[in-house]
Amino acid sequence: MTTDGALLESLPDSRVTAALLSDLEDADAIRTAIPLLAEAHDGQEISDRVVIQTESVAVVASYTDGEGWTVDHRINGTDRDPSDVLEEAMVAGQGDSSLVEAPGE
């Protein structure tokens, strides 16, 4: 099983670009790596909140200057449909915003 720390080690000690997350998806262990609430900066999409999913887990992580990356939410994906795990991570990652419709609404 991939540990949360191992997933975060893939990230630089800074906010990340959408392009870097896309490159992470090329790694065998990473199923999905997507930004949450990306903003444009110097022609690139930059995010300080991401969802990273493997076959066994999805994590929502956030970056804070001086503290680095931390896991905000962890969703167990063992023996579950990967689409359901990603949806749960997206809903967990949205916080108080309404970017993703919660299941059953």
Instruction: With respect to residue 84, please indicate whether it lies within any of the assigned structural domains.
Output: yes
Decide: pTM greater than 0.75. Answer: yes
What are the pLDDT digits (tens) for 44-102?
A: 889 999 999 999 999 999 999 989 999 999 999 999 999 999 999 999 998 755 554 55
Report the pLDDT value the prediction gives residue 37, as an integer from 0 to 100. Answer: 80
Instruction: With respect to residue 105, please indicate whether it lies within any of the assigned structural domains.
Output: no
Instruction: With respect to residue 58, please indicate whether it lies within any of the assigned structural domains.
Output: yes
d(CA 105, CA 34): 23
Residue 1 predicted with pLDDT over 70: no
Closest CA relative to residue 2, chosen from 21, 30, 34 = 30
Q: Which domain holds residue 46?
A: 4-93
How many CA atoms lie less than 13 Å away from 99 in the CB half-sphere? 14
Angle at Cα 88 formed by Cα 87 and Cα 89, nearest 5°?
90
d(CA 69, CA 67): 7
Amino acid at 11: L
Average pLDDT over residues 1-30: 83
Instruction: With respect to residue 71, please indicate whether it lies within any of the assigned structural domains.
Output: yes
User: Could you give the number of structural domains in the chain?
Assistant: 1
Instruction: With respect to residue 26, please indicate whether it lies within any of the assigned structural domains.
Output: yes
Instruction: With respect to residue 75, please indicate whether it lies within any of the assigned structural domains.
Output: yes
Instruction: With respect to residue 101, please indicate whether it lies within any of the assigned structural domains.
Output: no
Question: Is residue 50 packed enough to be buried (19+ CB in 10 Å), middle (13-18) or exposed (0-12)?
Answer: buried
Instruction: With respect to residue 99, please indicate whether it lies within any of the assigned structural domains.
Output: no
